[in-house]
Every structure is written in C-alpha cells, then in structure tokens.
Amino acid sequence: MPRKWDQYQHVEMIVRCDPGAKQAAVARGLTRGLKDAAETWRKRYLPRHFEESAYSRYLYHRRSKQYEIAKYKRFGHRIPLVWEGKARDAILSTMPAVSVRKLKLNAVWRGMPRYLFVKRKGGVRPAEEITTTIADERNILLRHVGKTARQYASKATGQKKATTLNI
C-alpha cells in the first residue's frame, strides 16, 4: 500500500561552519547553491515527472479508470499529469523565476494553466505533484548546495582547503 502523499515538501538544513568563515560569504554560497539546485532540478528531475514510471516513483494520486481510458483513446498515451501536453510543454520549456529570500527558495512559472492549481478529488493539486521530490533527489540537491556554500566560504576566508561546513 503506498504511503500517504505529502502535500508539502519541507527540508531544513543546519549549517555549522568554521569560526573563521564569514557569515555573509556562507549565505551567498547557500543562495547560489539553492539557485543552482533549482536549475539542476528543472533540467534533470522535472522531466521525470512526465514519464509513465512517475506513478510509482513519486506516488502520484491515481486518476479514475474512466479518465485513463478516455485519455488513452483520445491521445494514445498514459503519461501522468498530461492530457494534451500543453502544460507539460510550457513547464519544460519555460525557465521559472527563481528567488531566494532568507534562504527560502521560490520558483515561479508565469502563465501556467489554472487547472494545475485546482484541487482534485483526494485533495491533490497537479502543481503539487509536479514539484514533488523523492529523498534521493533531495539528498543530491542538498549536497550540491553544501558544496557550493563551502566553496564560497573558502574563497572568502582565503583558505586553500575547503571550509568545514556541515549540512
């Protein structure tokens, strides 16, 4: 039986760094790392949400049998989160506006269809399913954020070896 789908993905990072590391440099590194992680997610992981294996990988809410049959008869596919493909094409071809404030990452796509944000039966919004990440993806992205923050901290302190930064 699949686990309950988490409506919101929340990740906290605890950052401990050397006393010699400058906080502003670490914050800049974390900000840059978060923006890079968003871009990596968009290029590497977002397209996986539109594969047939996404149902089991991301534990999407199953659509009704009638919906699946109608979609297959009309469009000849079983791709999750796709009816005609317009929203998928718009999401994959558009770069979101990424902002980081107080180390909170926001990625906003402009001009997306309204139906992505309408709550469906079972309390699920397609937009929330599209942005779901699994633990392996989050861990890879967080390691990337930590690596970038360490690089910025090392440059600011003038150290040749990386600053210790536990995330």
Residue 9 has a pLDDT of: 45
State how far the Cα of 159 lies from the Cα of 155, in Å rounded to an integer. 7
Mean pLDDT of the chain: 76
- pLDDT tier at 14, thresholds 50, 70, 90: low
Residue 69 has a pLDDT of: 93
Q: Is the pLDDT of residue 72 over 90?
A: yes
- pLDDT tier at 37, thresholds 50, 70, 90: confident
Q: Which helix (H) or strand (E) holds 145?
A: helix 135-157
The mean pLDDT of 70-77, rounded to a whole number, is 92
The domain spans of the chain are 16-166
Q: Is the pLDDT of residue 59 over 80?
A: yes
Residue 65 or 122, more confident: 65
Distance of CA 69 to the CA centre of its chain: 30
- pLDDT tier at 8, thresholds 50, 70, 90: very low
Classify residue 66 as exposed, middle or buried by CB count within 10 Å of its CB (0-12, 13-18, 19+): exposed
Over residues 90-126, the pLDDT tens digits come to 888 888 787 777 767 777 777 777 777 877 776 778 8
Residue 139 has a pLDDT of: 86
Residue 21 has a pLDDT of: 63
